Structure 1
Amino acid sequence: METAIKKSKSASFTYSLSATKPPEEVYELLLDVKKWWSGFYEETITGDASQVNDEFSFLAGGGKHFSRQKLAELVPHSKIVWKVIESKLTFLNAPDEWIGTELRFDITKSGDKTTVTFTHVGLEPEIECYGSCSSAWTMYIDQLKQMLNGNHE
């Protein structure tokens, strides 16, 4: 009997959070990347991130992290997907490691709660950036969680 080994999305970095805000507000905040993807590493975000094919760049850590994302998919109030089209992470042996990965947000409502599941599709434990990048994502998503639950100034 042969066993097929399939690469699954579950290996990618995933973080889910529960929010008190409705899906519409969550969706609008996520599209405003400057509000939640900043505050830790002297980030500079330029470009647009609200319509399909919009592109924005993210620069942080004194130039150690640069990436450019293209908005690939939007499903109002339920899904946002950015594809990383350029990457220069100078602290890695392979600075282009993020190219082709996706930053995905799935938004669902259950009762009076909204669940947001963030997945960096392609950020897997086998790649060099996994440790430092997943730690940074956790900080940003924790900050987002605070914003979505009214605990952020």
Structure 2
Amino acid sequence: MGNKDFTSSISANISAEEATKRISNVPGWWGVTVTGSSEKKNDTFTVKMTGDSFFNFTVEELIPGKRVVWLVTDCYMPWYSDKTEWTNTRLIFDLAEKNGATELNFKHQGLTPDIECYKDCESGWTHWISTSLLSYLTTGKGSFRPPTK
């Protein structure tokens, strides 16, 4: 079990193309400060959390209606002993549309139970995918909460 990446799945009555656009609008569902762009392959963007924490991403793959992959190229999480624990991990959003609904399977590749932030990140991602992103996909409004740390 120690190497099992975090995953979460949701389904929404929205086209997969529209879901791709909404995933790429990071502030709409993550409720964070974002600089840069996340709308096409090779775009880069930075997510700022509390204090001096940050996450730099590169859009590694973007196939509208099918797949979005963000590579974490750098990060700083001051509340953990390994402050760059997410570096070289990937956020993967796989989409499949069927009968007017889109099934979204999310994986944080590299976020496994054997790393320090897993417990906090597991509850964080569960909220951001199952609550906030789902709300954004279905109502156009995310459901924000304070960061875990």
TM-score between the two structures when normalised by the length of structure 2: 0.88
Aligned: 1:116 with 2:104 = yes
Match of 1:58 among 47, 50, 53: 47
Q: In the alignment, which residue of structure 2 is the partner of 1:3?
A: none
Q: For residues 139-150 of structure 1, what are the structure 2 equivalents within 5 Å?
A: 139-141=127-129, 142-150=131-139
Q: In the alignment, which residue of structure 2 is the partner of 1:102?
A: 90
SS in 2 for 1:61: coil
Q: Is the 8 A contact 2:37 2:45 kept in 1?
A: yes
Match of 1:14 among 7, 19, 23: 7
Q: In the alignment, which residue of structure 2 is the partner of 1:34?
A: 27
TM-score between the two structures when normalised by the length of structure 1: 0.86
Going from structure 1 to structure 2, the CA distance change for 1:151 and 1:58 (only over 3 Å counts) comes to closer
SS in 1 for 2:127: helix
Q: In the alignment, which residue of structure 2 is the partner of 1:73?
A: 61
Structure 1, unmatched stretches of 5+, are 1-6
Q: CA shift at 1:146, angstroms?
A: 1.2
Cα RMSD between the aligned structures?
1.8
Q: In the alignment, which residue of structure 2 is the partner of 1:128?
A: 116
Q: CA shift at 1:151, angstroms?
A: 7.6
| Letter in structure 2 aligned against 1:92 | Y
SS in 1 for 2:51: helix
Q: Is the 8 A contact 2:111 2:118 kept in 1?
A: yes
Aligned: 1:87 with 2:75 = yes
Q: Is the 8 A contact 2:28 2:136 kept in 1?
A: no
Deviations 1:12-61 (A, max 9, x none): 110100101111110110111121111xxxx3111110111111011112
SS in 1 for 2:19: helix
Higher Cα radius of gyration? 1
SS in 2 for 1:120: strand
User: How far apart are the structure 1 equivalents of 2:64 and 2:104?
Assistant: 14
